[in-house]
């Protein structure tokens, strides 16, 4: 048996707790049954399940790593023979075992209540097949499995955020259990809300025999039943969350991580989102569809570049190792030490170049995109150019990333990321507001601070290009001057 799992279960699951949990839940269930009947019981079990998993379970999952730091036991665990998978499984199912015990009881009672409700209230006329009861049972099974997977996603996301914070700060004070919990609730809550809106209300129609009534989602031109699509999406993102947490744990334990996973994840998210694009549905040729796919990948890569540059560890030793690998031209070491934000940026640049090449031949499609984006940005479609938007925004993104890295190349860099956020807020919000208030030449001056796409490529790009050069030179100067003891690479 996994030693970490066994240790946590022994800590969490005492005999007193094993008896107390079903006893207390039983009293709550009995009160709900007495007051509201079966429907009240079902509602109570649902509320208890989400309270146990989201409000308690996510704190336990993240708190497992905080406890290691508080008790000064993490270093000894790092030196043990436990693998990242064992630590992950032990803390996921061990530290939350008591919570999952209560949640599974609530889920089971809710399933029994639903089965009882369907069996006692369903009246079958002669025109309806008895198989309708099986369809209702399928609905109940799907709903229970979906709730369980959404709850697991919340627990895994809480663990992932805790490990990321632990790698950044290396202290218990840096692990905010509440922050981990909020991220977990946000991630899993998206799927729970989707099921509430589409799943239970349309489940019968998706399993029904009338194909015209099936509720579907259009994805890459395919009409997929929405409950199956949401369920498959939940499973896939749960697997990605598990892989990401294990990869981050391997990095903290100083094992070689799955660096390729980040690039694949960025491409996957871009490909996933591209299937929903309404323009993709109307693209008649493969070249049109490839162009739509590339520009959606570009947007996804841009978002993940910003996410990575602010969240990943930016140790000087990690950048030294990366530069040394570049000098030796050793691909495995380059891949191992390359920062995630740089990987996302490379994907963005490749998608940008390919989109520009394909876009030159997609005149009609580009015109349609120009009209849609111009309407979205409240600009004149006559002066709007989608190509200019991609290039200018890419330059601003590069400037911002270089600024963040420059601030981290300093002896006192504990709050470098926070300082970068302040600088970016000044550049993107405060200064443009001042310029607008003083009624200065907004077209030229605004190009230094916010993307401008109405004046052509040269007029829109040269101000931010100068900023990129300036920040890059400043970064090189900072890199050469920095004097800091060699730190252990946790990137």
Locus of tokens 């499984």: 89
DSSP 278-308: HHHHH--SHHHHHHHHHHHHHHHHHHHHHHH
Give the torsion through C-alpha atoms of 291, 292, 296, 302, to 10 deg. 30
Residues 245 and 320 reside in one and the same domain: no
Boundary (domain end) residue, out of 212, 227, 253: 253
Query: What pLDDT sits at residue 351?
Result: 94
Locus of tokens 């749960």: 238
Residues 221 and 318 reside in one and the same domain: no
Q: Which two tokens stand for residue 188?
A: 């899993």
* Other Cβ atoms closer than 10 A to 410: 14
Q: Which two tokens stand for residue 32?
A: 């709900």
Element (H, E) at 11: helix 3-12
Residue 34 CA to residue 253 CA, distance in Å, equals 52
Residue 226 CA to residue 195 CA, distance in Å, equals 9
| Intra-chain end-to-end CA distance of the chain, in Å | 31
Locus of tokens 């938007």: 389
Residues 168 and 19 reside in one and the same domain: yes
Q: Which two tokens stand for residue 52?
A: 């146990």
Query: What pLDDT sits at residue 378?
Result: 56
Query: What pLDDT sits at residue 426?
Result: 92
Residues 196 and 317 reside in one and the same domain: no
Residues 248 and 321 reside in one and the same domain: no
Phi/psi at 217 (5° precision) = -125, 135
Single pTM value for the model: 0.84
37: nearest Cα among 29, 49, 48, 26: 29
Considering the domain boundaries, does residue 71 fall inside one? yes
Query: pLDDT of 201-226, one tens digit each?
Result: 333 344 444 444 467 888 887 888 88
Residues of the chain where predicted confidence (pLDDT) is lower than 70: 118-136, 170-174, 193-214, 257, 278-284, 359-384, 439-443, 454, 483-491
Residues 197 and 328 reside in one and the same domain: no
Secondary structure class of 167 (helix, strand, coil): helix
Query: What pLDDT sits at residue 258?
Result: 73
Considering the domain boundaries, does residue 486 fall inside one? yes
143: nearest Cα among 227, 70, 20: 227
Residue 227 CA to residue 217 CA, distance in Å, equals 9
Q: Which value, in Å, is the radius of gyration of the alpha carbons in the chain?
A: 27
Query: What pLDDT sits at residue 207?
Result: 41
Residues 244 and 311 reside in one and the same domain: no
Number of helices (H) and strands (E) in the chain: give both, helices first.
22, 2
Query: What pLDDT sits at residue 194?
Result: 53
In terms of residue numbers, what domain contains 61?
1-253
Query: What pLDDT sits at residue 140?
Result: 80
Considering the domain boundaries, does residue 17 fall inside one? yes
């Amino acid at each position: 048996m996994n030693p970490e799992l066994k240790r946590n279960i022994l800590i969490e699951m005492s005999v007193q707790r094993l008896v107390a949990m079903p006893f207390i839940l039983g009293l709550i269930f009995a009160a709900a049954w007495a007051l509201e009947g079966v429907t009240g019981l079902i509602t109570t079990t649902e509320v208890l399940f989400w309270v146990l998993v989201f409000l308690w379970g996510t704190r336990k999952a993240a708190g497992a790593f905080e406890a290691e730091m508080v008790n000064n036991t993490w270093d000894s665990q790092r030196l043990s023979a436990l693998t990242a998978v064992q630590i992950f499984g032990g803390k996921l199912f061990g530290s939350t075992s008591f919570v999952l015990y209560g949640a599974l009881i609530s889920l089971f009672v809710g399933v029994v209540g639903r089965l009882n409700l369907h069996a006692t209230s369903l009246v079958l006329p002669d025109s309806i097949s008895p198989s309708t009861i099986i369809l209702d049972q399928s609905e109940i099974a799907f709903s229970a499995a979906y709730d369980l997977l959404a709850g697991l996603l919340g627990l895994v996301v809480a663990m992932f955020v805790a490990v990321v914070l632990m790698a950044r700060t290396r202290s218990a004070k840096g692990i905010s259990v509440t922050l981990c919990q909020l991220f977990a609730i946000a991630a899993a809550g998206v799927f729970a809300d989707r099921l509430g809106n589409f799943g239970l209300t349309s489940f019968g129609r998706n399993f029904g025999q009338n194909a015209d009534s099936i509720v579907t989602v259009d994805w890459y031109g395919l009409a997929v039943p929405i409950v199956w699509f949401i369920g498959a999406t939940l499973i896939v993102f749960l697997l990605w969350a598990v892989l990401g947490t294990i990869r981050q744990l391997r990095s903290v334990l100083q094992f070689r991580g799955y660096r390729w996973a980040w690039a694949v994840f960025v491409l996957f998210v871009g490909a996933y989102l591209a299937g929903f694009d309404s323009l993709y549905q109307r693209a008649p040729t493969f070249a049109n569809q490839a162009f739509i796919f590339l520009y959606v990948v570009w947007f996804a890569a841009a978002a993940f570049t910003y996410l990575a540059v602010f969240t990943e560890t930016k140790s000087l030793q990690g950048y030294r190792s990366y530069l040394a690998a570049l000098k030796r031209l050793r691909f495995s070491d380059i891949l191992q030490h390359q920062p995630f934000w740089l990987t996302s940026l490379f994907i963005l640049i490749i998608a940008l170049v390919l989109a520009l090449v394909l876009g030159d031949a997609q005149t009609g499609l580009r015109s349609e995109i120009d009209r849609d984006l111009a309407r979205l940005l409240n600009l004149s479609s006559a002066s709007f150019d989608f190509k200019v938007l991609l290039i200018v925004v890419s330059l601003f993104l590069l400037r911002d990333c270089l600024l963040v890295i420059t601030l981290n190349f300093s002896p006192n860099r504990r709050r470098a990321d926070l300082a970068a956020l302040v600088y970016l807020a000044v550049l993107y919000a405060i200064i443009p507001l001042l310029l607008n208030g003083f009624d200065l030449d907004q077209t030229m001056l605004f190009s230094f601070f916010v993307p401008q796409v109405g004046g052509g490529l040269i007029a829109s790009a040269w101000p931010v290009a100068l900023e990129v050069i300036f920040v890059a030179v400043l970064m090189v100067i900072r890199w050469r001057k920095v004097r800091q003891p060699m730190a252990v690479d946790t990137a």
